[in-house]
A and B are shown apart, each in its own frame.
Chain A
Amino acid sequence: MLLYIFRRLLSVAVTFFIVSVIIFLMMHSVPGGPFDANEIPVSEAVRQQLMAQLGLDQPLYVQYFKYMWGVLHFDFGVPYQSPGETVLQLLSRAWVPSLILGGAGVALGAPLGILLGIAAALNRNTWIDYLASAFSTIGLTVPVFVISMVLILVFAVWLDWLPASGWPTPDRWILPIIAYAAIPVATYARYTRSAMLDTLSRPFVTVLRAKGLSERRIVFQHVLRNSAIPLVTVFLPMFIGTATGSIFVEAMFRIPGLGAYFVSSIELRDYPLEMALMLMITFMYCIAYLLSDIVYALINPRIRVGGSE
């Protein structure tokens, strides 16, 4: 197992390298630069000087290796749009709200979705199933900014139970967390329901019934464990998708999170920040898939035992 993890880490490093090259090239192949006239009105001479100062006049491969050398020393450079701090400082400041709200959203949404999925599968074609199904359809089809708007309208404007937006106090976090939870709840409910139904239809469930086990034991010991196998593969990647911030939710609730920087870094050709954000996401997905695979192997004996591919 340790050897397996080591092998996988090696492949993560390779993936990381390839992705960094691709992102770097794509980033620079987008026409325009950080100091184009329509962005910041500077004279040609000043522009040249700025470009030289930031090393942007050098060949791409030199820029790439310089940047990556810095990355290896945790030096991601200085964001052009906020020269008073380093990229690392900006990220650690902006990421906190996104991580807290997104993380809480998944932590709340996933178990709720799973429970909903189980309830739906065990009560197939009854009102419970239909209700759960309606719920998850809404979560998946209605855009998250509409959900956010409805939440604000109902709980902040009409009922006046909670503040509508902002960050400073925890009571302002509740509505965005609910908005964040909508997609995990919906996705998990759907996945769990179909995984459970699939497992319930397998012959070994009939065998378990025929040998006289109670229905509760069959569901909670056997069916759930088998259904969990396909679920693990979607859990962590989804967590990352949510925990890196949503432009929509953060904009709706005016949260100083990471989401907005994804857009602004591209718009302003803020190369150091853009690159750092992309690398961070790549790295987190690599690790998430690695962890999912390990958990997958742990709960699935067909992989774990005699696992010669």
Chain B
Amino acid sequence: MSLVEIEDLRVSFRQYGGAVDAVRGIGFTLEQGESLGIVGESGSGKSVSCSALMRLLPATAEVSAARLRLDGVDVTKADREDLVRLRGRSAAMIFQDPMTAFDPVFTIGHQICETIIAHRGTSKKQALDEARQLLERVEIKNAGDVLGYYPHQLSGGMLQRAMIAMALSCRPKLLIADEPTTALDVTIQAQILQLIKDIQAEFGMALIMITHDLGVIAETVDRVLVMYQGEVMEQGPVSQIFDAPQHDYTKQLLASLHAGFEASRGEERDVPALELRGLAKTYRIRRRSGLFHKYADFQAVQETNIVLPRNRIVGIVGESGSGKTTTGLMAMRLTEPTSGQILLEGTDISGLSAEALRPFRRRMQIVFQDSYSALDPMMTLVQIIAEPLHIHEIGTAREQSELALDWLDRVGLDRSFASRYPHELSGGQRQRVAIARSLILGPSVLVADEPTSALDVTVKAQIIRLLKRLQAEMGLSILFISHDLSTVKSLTDTVVVMYQGRVVEEAPTERIFAAPQHPYTKALLDAIPVTNPRDRRLRSFLSAEQIAAATPRYTTKDTGTGPHADPTLVGIAPNHRVEAVVTA
């Protein structure tokens, strides 16, 4: 008997004005200890199928199946007691966003213990003991302390580990991981994936890995199911899917994995489009101390120098909290820098008043990650796109709409979209609108803050191509902020790596991928998921202390500068700077 048996599963959601089919007759089986990846984009039905298996769908869902069995139990007919036994015991789940997956008002220890007690009826003390061991198993060092922590006191990576510990607490036969690393930084993602693989082997569990990321699939599973619009496109062993894909959709997905490097054309010229000189941001943090407040300084960004030449795309990469977004916002003067200069085409705009800044605003624009909240829901697309013209009082109302319609064309949307509203569009379409709005004024500098990280792989590739095309057409200079190294590789000319609020390495894109120098850059590159299951390897991860200890060393001969005992950015090759210690 197989652990999971699904045959002709159909799920539809009742909605106002009809039903939406989310899953249209899929089927697969899973044996004990086997690992299966389900890959597909948002709305493909991959999560819904697994939720149906756990009976976690809302009451508006209608589920029918010729066969839907988990651990020998017919899920469609399961009663309350069966469900309690199936959930957590036969199969456990981990979810995408660990920050919202724990109840915020109970400690981690309480939440793990309650699972153990509910299923196995152990004593409180026994449960606590076991919870601590589980936390240790998922490589949380201060497990004893973490038991008493509330969720908000832990980072996303730590919470996802705790989530895994909780899932393991009843020794489930099947672990369902629903996009377990999508909300995490690249380096943390690699660690969590490795942990899941280790634990699956150790506990002899079966694994279903739900993801939109083929890299995650290549890293973790034996067998793959490709889903598209509620149907299975193809399924087979992971090597077969990667080496000999049958279906067009699979081929398209694979193509997005292998984006190559392509330099921007157009001359650089002397005066850079944007130059940040010693730009820094310090936040004052207020802490209570006795009757009064104590202030401490937090340096979000330390003195940073970044040059964005004309006609070039510079990428800023780093993990959350590295200061990359703050740098982008400061460059736009949307966040006031504490010190430093911002030179837009040679003019220092860092001290200008709001009024004096206005003409410069035409020449620099920004696109954000979340296109949904970046567009006014009460305005039509043509109003949204034309708004910058309106603000800067350019042309008549008729001319403004005409131009906005042209821009709908230019970003690849049909003119008939003009009178639609943002909620009627998909994520990719909305991002196109945001791009049109930012470029309608004909700026010379565009700051793009993670514009593709909320999008599906295939859509992401389209948006990147669009940005690349518009960059060439308009002679744009783009500051591209991202944590996604594969996107950075295919789009940018130069990469700036930020770590803990400072630049640790900067080099031409090809060079930084081929010969990274700083230990953090190396760690970042090493964490990128492989593009083929054949390249799977065991990774070792550096702690912050290890990274600090491994600061590169050069001699004054290499750098042509004087010696520095403290780590400083030094040039070691043309356009290649790295934070290093220089000895005589």
Binding site for B on A (CB under 8 A): 3, 6-7, 202-204, 206-215, 217, 221-222, 225-226, 229, 299-302, 305-306, 308-309
Q: Are B84 and A212 in contact (CB under 8 A)?
A: yes
Q: Which residues of chain B from 37 to 87 have any CB-CB distance to chain A below 8 Å in the complex?
A: 54, 56, 80, 83-87
Contact check: which of A6, A202, A212, A214 meets B86 at CB < 8 Å?
A: A212
- In the complex the two chains form, what is the Cα distance from A211 to B175 in whole Å? 11
Q: A7-B291, A206-B56, A306-B153 are in contact. Are A211 and B115 (CB under 8 A)?
A: yes
Q: A203-B97, A302-B152 are in contact. Are A213 and B118 (CB under 8 A)?
A: yes
Closest to A218 in B: B103
CB-CB under 8 A from B118, the residues of chain A are 211-214, 217
Within the complex, what minimum Cβ distance (angstroms) separates A233 from chain B?
15
Closest to B294 in A: A308
By the criterion of a CB under 8 Å from any partner CB, how many residues of chain B are at the interface? 39
What are 12 of the A-B contact pairs (CB < 8 Å)?
A: A203-B101, A204-B100, A204-B101, A209-B56, A210-B54, A210-B92, A211-B166, A214-B118, A217-B114, A226-B105, A309-B286, A309-B288
- In the complex the two chains form, what is the Cα distance from A212 to B87 in whole Å? 4
Q: Are B291 and A3 in contact (CB under 8 A)?
A: yes
The 5 closest A-B pairs by CB, nearest first: A212-B88, A212-B87, A301-B150, A211-B88, A210-B93
Number of A-B residue pairs having CB atoms within 8 Å of each other in the complex: 89
Q: Are B84 and A214 in contact (CB under 8 A)?
A: yes
CB-CB under 8 A from B97, the residues of chain A are 203
Within the complex, what minimum Cβ distance (angstroms) separates B313 from chain A?
36
Does B106 have its Cβ within 8 Å of any Cβ on chain A?
Answer: yes
CB-CB under 8 A from B100, the residues of chain A are 202-204
Closest to B114 in A: A213
Q: A203-B100, A212-B87 are in contact. Are A301 and B92 (CB under 8 A)?
A: no
Q: A203-B95, A217-B118, A305-B153 are in contact. Are A209 and B105 (CB under 8 A)?
A: no
- In the complex the two chains form, what is the Cα distance from A302 to B115 in whole Å? 23
Closest to A7 in B: B291
Q: A3-B290, A214-B84, A308-B287 are in contact. Are A207 and B105 (CB under 8 A)?
A: no
Q: Which residues of chain B from 424 to 475 have any CB-CB distance to chain A below 8 Å in the complex?
A: none
Q: Are B87 and A211 in contact (CB under 8 A)?
A: yes
Within the complex, what minimum Cβ distance (angstroms) separates A292 from chain B?
17
Does B104 have its Cβ within 8 Å of any Cβ on chain A?
Answer: yes
- In the complex the two chains form, what is the Cα distance from A211 to B111 in whole Å? 10
Closest to A203 in B: B100
Q: Which of B97, B104, B163 is most buried by chain A, counting CB atoms within 10 A of its CB? A: B104
CB-CB under 8 A from A202, the residues of chain B are 100
Within the complex, what minimum Cβ distance (angstroms) separates A294 from chain B?
15
CB-CB under 8 A from A308, the residues of chain B are 285-288
Does B24 have its Cβ within 8 Å of any Cβ on chain A?
Answer: no
- In the complex the two chains form, what is the Cα distance from A211 to B153 in whole Å? 22
Does B483 have its Cβ within 8 Å of any Cβ on chain A?
Answer: no
Within the complex, what minimum Cβ distance (angstroms) separates B565 from chain A?
35
Q: Mark B357-381, 1 if CB is under 8 A from A, else 0.
A: 0000000000000000000000000
Within the complex, what minimum Cβ distance (angstroms) separates B576 from chain A?
41
Within the complex, what minimum Cβ distance (angstroms) separates A282 from chain B?
24
Q: Are B115 and A213 in contact (CB under 8 A)?
A: yes
Within the complex, what minimum Cβ distance (angstroms) separates B298 from chain A?
12
CB-CB under 8 A from A221, the residues of chain B are 114
Closest to B83 in A: A212
Closest to B106 in A: A222
- In the complex the two chains form, what is the Cα distance from A6 to B291 in whole Å? 9
CB-CB under 8 A from B83, the residues of chain A are 212
Q: Mark B17-33, 1 if CB is under 8 A from A, else 0.
A: 00000000000000000
Does B89 have its Cβ within 8 Å of any Cβ on chain A?
Answer: yes
Within the complex, what minimum Cβ distance (angstroms) separates B294 from chain A?
9
Does B119 have its Cβ within 8 Å of any Cβ on chain A?
Answer: yes
CB-CB under 8 A from A213, the residues of chain B are 84, 114-115, 118
- In the complex the two chains form, what is the Cα distance from A301 to B111 in whole Å? 14
- In the complex the two chains form, what is the Cα distance from A71 to B453 in whole Å? 63
- In the complex the two chains form, what is the Cα distance from A206 to B56 in whole Å? 7
Within the complex, what minimum Cβ distance (angstroms) separates A228 from chain B?
9
CB-CB under 8 A from A7, the residues of chain B are 291
Within the complex, what minimum Cβ distance (angstroms) separates A295 from chain B?
13
Within the complex, what minimum Cβ distance (angstroms) separates B562 from chain A?
42
Contact check: which of A3, A211, A302 meets B104 at CB < 8 Å?
A: A302
- Not counting A204-B100, A213-B115, A300-B105, a sample of 10 additional A-B residue pairs whose C-beta atoms are within 8 angstroms of each other reads A203-B95, A203-B97, A207-B163, A211-B167, A212-B87, A212-B119, A217-B114, A225-B106, A305-B153, A308-B285
Q: Are A204 and B92 in contact (CB under 8 A)?
A: no
- In the complex the two chains form, what is the Cα distance from A7 to B290 in whole Å? 9
Q: A203-B97, A204-B100, A209-B56 are in contact. Are A301 and B105 (CB under 8 A)?
A: yes
- In the complex the two chains form, what is the Cα distance from A299 to B104 in whole Å? 11
- In the complex the two chains form, what is the Cα distance from A209 to B51 in whole Å? 11
- In the complex the two chains form, what is the Cα distance from A270 to B424 in whole Å? 63
Within the complex, what minimum Cβ distance (angstroms) separates B80 from chain A?
8
Contact check: which of A3, A206, A208, A299 meets B105 at CB < 8 Å?
A: A299
- In the complex the two chains form, what is the Cα distance from A301 to B105 in whole Å? 6
- In the complex the two chains form, what is the Cα distance from A207 to B108 in whole Å? 13
Within the complex, what minimum Cβ distance (angstroms) separates A293 from chain B?
14
- In the complex the two chains form, what is the Cα distance from A295 to B142 in whole Å? 31
- In the complex the two chains form, what is the Cα distance from A212 to B85 in whole Å? 7
Q: A202-B100, A204-B103 are in contact. Are A212 and B115 (CB under 8 A)?
A: yes
- In the complex the two chains form, what is the Cα distance from A309 to B80 in whole Å? 43
Within the complex, what minimum Cβ distance (angstroms) separates B121 from chain A?
13
CB-CB under 8 A from A210, the residues of chain B are 54, 56, 87-88, 92-93
Does B513 have its Cβ within 8 Å of any Cβ on chain A?
Answer: no
CB-CB under 8 A from B56, the residues of chain A are 206, 209-210
CB-CB under 8 A from B95, the residues of chain A are 203, 206-207
Q: Are B150 and A302 in contact (CB under 8 A)?
A: yes
CB-CB under 8 A from B88, the residues of chain A are 210-212
CB-CB under 8 A from A214, the residues of chain B are 80, 84, 118
Q: Are A208 and B103 in contact (CB under 8 A)?
A: yes
Closest to A229 in B: B105
Within the complex, what minimum Cβ distance (angstroms) separates B11 from chain A?
16
Q: Are A301 and B287 in contact (CB under 8 A)?
A: no
Q: Mark B102-126, 1 if CB is under 8 A from A, else 0.
A: 1111110000001100110000000
Closest to B89 in A: A212
Q: Are B115 and A225 in contact (CB under 8 A)?
A: no
Contact check: which of B84, B104, B166, B167 meets A301 at CB < 8 Å?
A: B104
Closest to B176 in A: A210
CB-CB under 8 A from B166, the residues of chain A are 211
Within the complex, what minimum Cβ distance (angstroms) separates B156 from chain A?
14
- In the complex the two chains form, what is the Cα distance from A204 to B119 in whole Å? 19
Closest to A301 in B: B150
Q: Are B287 and A207 in contact (CB under 8 A)?
A: no
- In the complex the two chains form, what is the Cα distance from A299 to B105 in whole Å? 7
Q: Are A207 and B102 in contact (CB under 8 A)?
A: yes
Q: A202-B100, A300-B105 are in contact. Are A305 and B150 (CB under 8 A)?
A: yes
Q: Are A301 and B114 in contact (CB under 8 A)?
A: no
CB-CB under 8 A from A215, the residues of chain B are 80
- In the complex the two chains form, what is the Cα distance from A6 to B84 in whole Å? 48
Within the complex, what minimum Cβ distance (angstroms) separates B153 from chain A?
6
Within the complex, what minimum Cβ distance (angstroms) separates A9 from chain B?
12
CB-CB under 8 A from B150, the residues of chain A are 301-302, 305
Q: Which of A204, A214, A305 is most buried by chain B, counting CB atoms within 10 A of its CB? A: A204
